[in-house]
Chains A and B, each alone.
Chain A
Amino acid sequence: MPAARGDGMRGLAVFISDIRNCKSKEAEIKRINKELANIRSKFKGDKTLDGYQKKKYVCKLLFIFLLGHDIDFGHMEAVNLLSSNKYTEKQIGYLFISVLVNTNSDLIRLIIQSIKNDLTSRNPVHVNLALQCIANIGSKDMAESFSTDIPRLLVSGETIDVVKQSAALCLLRLFRTHPEIIPSGEWTSRIIHLLNDQHMGVVTAASSLIEALVKRSPDEYKGCVSLAVSRLSRIVTSSYTDLQDYTYYFVPAPWLSVKLLRLLQNYPPPEDPGVRGRLNECLETILNKAQEPPKSKKVQHSNAKNAVLFEAISLIIHSDSEPNLLVRACNQLGQFLSHRETNLRYLALESMCLLATSEFSHEAVKKHQETVINALKTERDVSVRQRAVDLLYAMCDRSNAEEIVQEMLNYLETADYSIREEMVLKVAILAEKYATDYSWYVDVILNLIRIAGDHVSEEVWYRVIQIVVNREDVQGYAAKTVFEALQAPACHENMVKVGGYILGEFGNLIAGDSRSSPSVQFRLLHSKYHLCSVATRALLLSTYIKFVNLFPEIKTQIQDVFRQDSNIRSADAELQQRASEYLKLSVVASTDVLATVLEEMPPFPERDSSILAILKKKKPGRVVEPLDVPAGKEGAPAPTPPTISAPTAQQQNGQTDLLVDVLGDIYTASQSQSGSATTNVGSIGASLGGKTANSLTQNNLISAPILEPVDNLKKLVFKNNGVLFENDLLQIGVKAEYRVNLGRMTLFYGNKTAFPMLGFTPSIHCGSDLAPKLSVQVKPVDSTVEAGAQAQQLVNIECIEDFIEYPNLVVTFLYNNVQQKLNLKLPVTINKFFEASDMNGETFFARWKNLGGAQQETQRIFKATQPMDTSATGSKLSGFGMHLLKGIDPNPDNFVCAAILHTRSQQIGCLLRLEPNKQAQMYRLTIRASKESVSKQTSELLGDSF
């Protein structure tokens, strides 16, 4: 008799056969309902059901569940089966519960009790059933109930292997739902030493557990590295007969090898030279074995062998420190790229993607470009083609960008719909990142719209417009190309949008040619008008009014269009408004006014491409950043790259016109000047207390942070030194000292880019209200800030009278031939001229009473915006410039402070009381000063900072 068939339950077999013989879905449902009713009545009525019958009915319920029907009863009966003393009944009870009971069930307490009993059973088969059930349900309750039993089972010397193995995975499952379950300390080394266990099954299970623990606390489990390496070494060097049953189709313990190789990927290469050498030997052996003739023709043999090989390659790539191994790994993957097994081609493409990001192997990967392109064209499987796209994206750099982008465009014409959107984003990113010739970039994006218009998101076409607007040299070409593209009989709406915008701005550049004369341009655009959505029509109306300015000769034609009922009386409010306003404008305004209103758009502020962010959002963790130049990872141990020459110099010469790739610039800048850029720019921060230095250097290293401009004006109310502003180009730091009514401030302007900023003029001026109250004297700065350098500017300040406004700081400069302008405020506020004044309680309250006039007090009650932390609030108030008077308010929770404001002519006393109400999460702030405007302004400045 076959091992598993055993004695079936007759009733069950009959029921299943009945179901299978049902001719229709309805009949099946009818039969199932009949059976459910039968079982329900049996469970309810017949108290004398024996174990066998219960087991049979529970089996039927399982079968019904598998067919996709809800089972809402029988759970209690299953729980009863758990306490049966018959193994088979217990087993089916556990099965039902594993499949059908969710973690929140009311029954979980009862189940846990049964499990507890079985865990202490002397029969290991029972213990295992209990462990399986815990691992399959893995609820929090269970984690709490078994937090001592299971770790004990795992490390106890008396536990037999089978149970130990299950206990390891059981613990892993509970650790995932409830990380506190694993106590640290003494357990750590005992768990690590499971890697030395004699039983391979135990080691396999334990390495899964250890990997999860390593991810939580890598330092604590560091000891596992050497154990894992020696275990791996024993497996790799063993012959296939040594491990007997754990040899799978002539490959010794493939699963365990894979697990160990994965585990090691959580750590940098071992520091101990002995361990490191041993590991490298293992990796070499694995690579060598790949070249040996197969010991079996069966696919299982090749799968098992290659599973280990791919994992070894992953580890080599992860360590990224042995150039020799990296190149061998790359060659091995290269062989797989043209292997007849589709699975291997798929995996090779995937692993190569990672390899392409290593500086040692980037060039080596590029050798396979033809093969990868070929895969894109010929693979029958979309999964494989997708990997080929990923790899092309990863291996792209300046030298091969044109070719790769062209191939991706070609493929896009026939690509599967499922991957088109992602491809469009990738093409757009590559084209922008590596464009040296912007007419090429424009061609690529217009082609994208032509080929896959539906998949071109707004960000992509916004971006092309931004770039065309900012780059004078490409505007004429863009206008010409988009004009030609619009002539296609059916062109995508996105093309109309781009065309409308570009012709509206730069149509005049091609109007000289009679084939694209103003009226031709207008008629061409207008021929698309009626097929477009409202948003596009609105855009076109704006184009038309711009035409009125650019080409007065077609004014009447355009006015006719505005006057059409479908526009001026459009049901859509936006269209109606635009049509009537534009019409009026074209009638009333003189040419001068028109020319001013409809002046060419100013350049867009520099910013990072938002496209990359979308791609990342779409595929979290899966986007491999294309390498810029074979960029070094600073800080990593860098043995000299062996064969790969980095054509850094000539690449940089070609990139003077880099407009958008701001981050790429930082990369190359910090490389070419051997890190000097980084240190210079970083030093602004360093001189200001070090905090920002880190963040700045990090920005240089991380491949593409999306850096939002930072404006720290508010923060600098409470401190004198810090970063005032930061964007992709420029960092402005402030360092200031104040004494009495005088202040001296140094501004640091750090150029974060690889190009000099020309005509650099920061100017500071006070508004008409402020000017009589605050005197500000500024030293001039050099008009050029070199790449990566910083300029300093000294500012002397005198407070003449209390004031409210901030002085303005306007920074203008030319970057990349584009005028940049930043409007900022200087962090100069009245509290900077505060002198903290100490006094005892008596004096304080006497003065407090003195300043009791309604004019002198400002009181506000507001909700806490920060956690109500006493020490944080206290230090904030001190930073604000007031003396925190301790122990004088009867309520110890309250803060009272005092300060004197110094101006040129007078000194103004200022007292503060802040009363927190922790229950309500509210504050009451009272400020009394001898001058009304001072108490008001002080209260204002403290604003919602608490």
Chain B
Amino acid sequence: MIKAIMVFNNHGKPRLTSFYDYITEELQQQIIKETFHLVSKRDDNVCNFLEGGSLIGGSDYKLIYRHYATLYFVFCVDSSESELGILDLIQVFVETLDKCFENVCELDLIFHVDKVHYILNELVMGGMVLETNMNEIFTRIEEQNKLERQEAGISAAPARAVSAVKNMNISQQIKDIKLPDLPQAIKDLKF
């Protein structure tokens, strides 16, 4: 079973967390910190598995992670999961994000945290792998988007017009921040 999924950046700032056993909010934050501490000090070429930190259950659990440019994707799993299988699952998750966001980067995760959760919900449910077929996942997300567009079309058309104009500023702002581009980094890793 997958006990937790954590995505944080190179500075340990959480971008997505999902705990599949109930854990208090305070402990969640400590676990994220501990995990970041464990994972971030590892070189890039070492193996992708390590024993869990003491807060999350120690050696009964494994951390399986991948590092993409600015982000760490960490899955904490028990002994019933295949390590390589989970490693591939992380890859499916990232590729799906990439497909849904068209060249995903850290900012997408920040500004669309809800969307990222919806995508993850199609992939993992209650700590178990739900679906691994990328096309299938993408189709489901598309269905949701269609619903969203329909609903927005009915009620929010005027508001959308206004926000579209104002939004121009924001996208300017986002461009100013300039973070390393994620897909570029993925290409560097040569999959």
Report A's interface with B, CB cutoff 8 A.
Answer: 2-8, 10, 12-14, 16-17, 20, 52, 59, 62-63, 65-68, 70, 86-88, 91-92, 95, 99, 102-103, 125, 131-132, 134-136, 138, 162, 165-166, 169-170, 172-173, 200-201, 204-205, 208, 211, 245-246, 248, 254-255, 258, 262, 298-300, 303-304, 306-307, 310-311, 342-343, 345-347, 380-381, 383-384, 386, 619-622
Question: When the two chains form their complex, are residues A87 and B151 in contact, meaning their CB atoms are under 8 A apart?
Answer: yes
Report B's interface with A, CB cutoff 8 A.
Answer: 13-18, 20, 22, 24-25, 29, 42-43, 45-51, 59-60, 80, 82-85, 87-89, 91-92, 97, 99-102, 108, 110-115, 117-119, 121, 125-136, 138, 140-145, 147-149, 151-152, 155-156, 159-160, 163, 166-167, 170, 173-174, 177, 190-191
Question: When the two chains form their complex, are residues A343 and B133 in contact, meaning their CB atoms are under 8 A apart?
Answer: no
Please tell me which one of the listed residues A8, A131, A306 contacts residue B112 in the complex, with CB atoms under 8 A apart: A8
Question: When the two chains form their complex, are residues B140 and A4 in contact, meaning their CB atoms are under 8 A apart?
Answer: no
B83: chain A residues at CB < 8 Å are 307, 310, 343, 347
Taken together as a complex, chains A and B put the C-alpha atoms of A258 and B85 apart, in Å, by: 8
Taken together as a complex, chains A and B put the C-alpha atoms of A346 and B108 apart, in Å, by: 34
Please tell me which one of the listed residues B127, B129, B160 contacts residue A173 in the complex, with CB atoms under 8 A apart: B127
From known contacts A7-B152, A254-B88, infer whether A95 and B130 are also in contact, taking CB-CB under 8 Å: no
What is the chain A residue whose CB lies nearest that of B141?
A: A3
From known contacts A17-B173, A162-B140, A307-B84, infer whether A201 and B130 are also in contact, taking CB-CB under 8 Å: yes
Question: When the two chains form their complex, are residues A2 and B101 in contact, meaning their CB atoms are under 8 A apart?
Answer: yes
> Which among A67, A102, A170, A381 has the greatest number of chain B C-beta atoms within 10 A?
A381
Sample of 14 more A-B contacts, CB < 8 Å, known A5-B115, A342-B46: A2-B102, A3-B100, A3-B138, A5-B108, A7-B148, A7-B156, A10-B167, A88-B151, A102-B22, A125-B147, A248-B132, A255-B129, A347-B84, A620-B60
Please tell me which one of the listed residues A125, A165, A380 contacts residue B143 in the complex, with CB atoms under 8 A apart: A125
Kindly list the 8 A-B residue pairs having the minimum CB-CB distance in the complex, ordered from nearest. A135-B126, A307-B84, A173-B126, A381-B46, A4-B100, A342-B47, A2-B102, A87-B147
A306: chain B residues at CB < 8 Å are 84
A95: chain B residues at CB < 8 Å are 114, 117-118
B124 to chain A, nearest CB (A): 9
A705 to chain B, nearest CB (A): 23
Taken together as a complex, chains A and B put the C-alpha atoms of A131 and B126 apart, in Å, by: 10
Question: When the two chains form their complex, are residues A383 and B82 in contact, meaning their CB atoms are under 8 A apart?
Answer: no
A154 to chain B, nearest CB (A): 14
Taken together as a complex, chains A and B put the C-alpha atoms of A874 and B108 apart, in Å, by: 74
Question: When the two chains form their complex, are residues A383 and B46 in contact, meaning their CB atoms are under 8 A apart?
Answer: yes
From known contacts A91-B144, A342-B46, infer whether A63 and B136 are also in contact, taking CB-CB under 8 Å: no
A624 to chain B, nearest CB (A): 13
From known contacts A169-B128, A173-B126, A384-B47, infer whether A5 and B112 are also in contact, taking CB-CB under 8 Å: yes
B136: chain A residues at CB < 8 Å are 201, 245
B130 to chain A, nearest CB (A): 6
Taken together as a complex, chains A and B put the C-alpha atoms of A300 and B92 apart, in Å, by: 10
Question: When the two chains form their complex, are residues A245 and B145 in contact, meaning their CB atoms are under 8 A apart?
Answer: no
A316 to chain B, nearest CB (A): 15
Question: When the two chains form their complex, are residues B151 and A86 in contact, meaning their CB atoms are under 8 A apart?
Answer: yes
Taken together as a complex, chains A and B put the C-alpha atoms of A138 and B130 apart, in Å, by: 16
Question: When the two chains form their complex, are residues B84 and A4 in contact, meaning their CB atoms are under 8 A apart?
Answer: no
From known contacts A4-B100, A70-B25, A303-B88, infer whether A136 and B125 are also in contact, taking CB-CB under 8 Å: yes
Question: When the two chains form their complex, are residues A383 and B49 in contact, meaning their CB atoms are under 8 A apart?
Answer: yes
B167: chain A residues at CB < 8 Å are 8, 10, 13
Please tell me which one of the listed residues B118, B119, B131, B133 contacts residue A91 in the complex, with CB atoms under 8 A apart: B118
Question: When the two chains form their complex, are residues B144 and A346 in contact, meaning their CB atoms are under 8 A apart?
Answer: no
Question: When the two chains form their complex, are residues B134 and A245 in contact, meaning their CB atoms are under 8 A apart?
Answer: yes
Taken together as a complex, chains A and B put the C-alpha atoms of A619 and B59 apart, in Å, by: 7
A383: chain B residues at CB < 8 Å are 46-47, 49-51
B80: chain A residues at CB < 8 Å are 211, 262
CB<8 Å pairs between A and B, sample of 5:
A6-B149, A17-B170, A166-B125, A343-B47, A343-B83
B29: chain A residues at CB < 8 Å are 68
Taken together as a complex, chains A and B put the C-alpha atoms of A91 and B29 apart, in Å, by: 25
From known contacts A6-B115, A95-B114, A343-B84, infer whether A205 and B47 are also in contact, taking CB-CB under 8 Å: no
Taken together as a complex, chains A and B put the C-alpha atoms of A668 and B10 apart, in Å, by: 55
Question: When the two chains form their complex, are residues B130 and A92 in contact, meaning their CB atoms are under 8 A apart?
Answer: no
A201: chain B residues at CB < 8 Å are 130-133, 136
> Which among A52, A68, A204, A258 has the greatest number of chain B C-beta atoms within 10 A?
A68
B170: chain A residues at CB < 8 Å are 10, 13-14, 17
Taken together as a complex, chains A and B put the C-alpha atoms of A490 and B98 apart, in Å, by: 59
Taken together as a complex, chains A and B put the C-alpha atoms of A295 and B83 apart, in Å, by: 22
Question: When the two chains form their complex, are residues B84 and A310 in contact, meaning their CB atoms are under 8 A apart?
Answer: yes
B43: chain A residues at CB < 8 Å are 380-381
A586 to chain B, nearest CB (A): 50
Question: When the two chains form their complex, are residues B130 and A87 in contact, meaning their CB atoms are under 8 A apart?
Answer: no
From known contacts A87-B151, A200-B133, A303-B84, infer whether A5 and B101 are also in contact, taking CB-CB under 8 Å: yes
Question: When the two chains form their complex, are residues B59 and A66 in contact, meaning their CB atoms are under 8 A apart?
Answer: no
What is the chain A residue whose CB lies nearest that of B33?
A: A68
What is the chain B residue whose CB lies nearest that of A123?
A: B147
A173: chain B residues at CB < 8 Å are 125-128
Taken together as a complex, chains A and B put the C-alpha atoms of A383 and B100 apart, in Å, by: 35
Question: When the two chains form their complex, are residues B128 and A245 in contact, meaning their CB atoms are under 8 A apart?
Answer: no
Question: When the two chains form their complex, are residues B147 and A3 in contact, meaning their CB atoms are under 8 A apart?
Answer: no
Taken together as a complex, chains A and B put the C-alpha atoms of A92 and B112 apart, in Å, by: 12
A132: chain B residues at CB < 8 Å are 121, 125
Question: When the two chains form their complex, are residues B129 and A88 in contact, meaning their CB atoms are under 8 A apart?
Answer: no
Taken together as a complex, chains A and B put the C-alpha atoms of A110 and B103 apart, in Å, by: 40
Please tell me which one of the listed residues A6, A70, A204, A310 contacts residue B148 in the complex, with CB atoms under 8 A apart: A6
Taken together as a complex, chains A and B put the C-alpha atoms of A343 and B148 apart, in Å, by: 42
Question: When the two chains form their complex, are residues A4 and B101 in contact, meaning their CB atoms are under 8 A apart?
Answer: yes
What is the chain A residue whose CB lies nearest that of B129?
A: A255
Question: When the two chains form their complex, are residues B145 and A4 in contact, meaning their CB atoms are under 8 A apart?
Answer: yes
A177 to chain B, nearest CB (A): 10
Taken together as a complex, chains A and B put the C-alpha atoms of A461 and B134 apart, in Å, by: 58
B191: chain A residues at CB < 8 Å are 298-300
Question: When the two chains form their complex, are residues A258 and B82 in contact, meaning their CB atoms are under 8 A apart?
Answer: yes
A65: chain B residues at CB < 8 Å are 25
A634 to chain B, nearest CB (A): 28
Taken together as a complex, chains A and B put the C-alpha atoms of A65 and B25 apart, in Å, by: 9
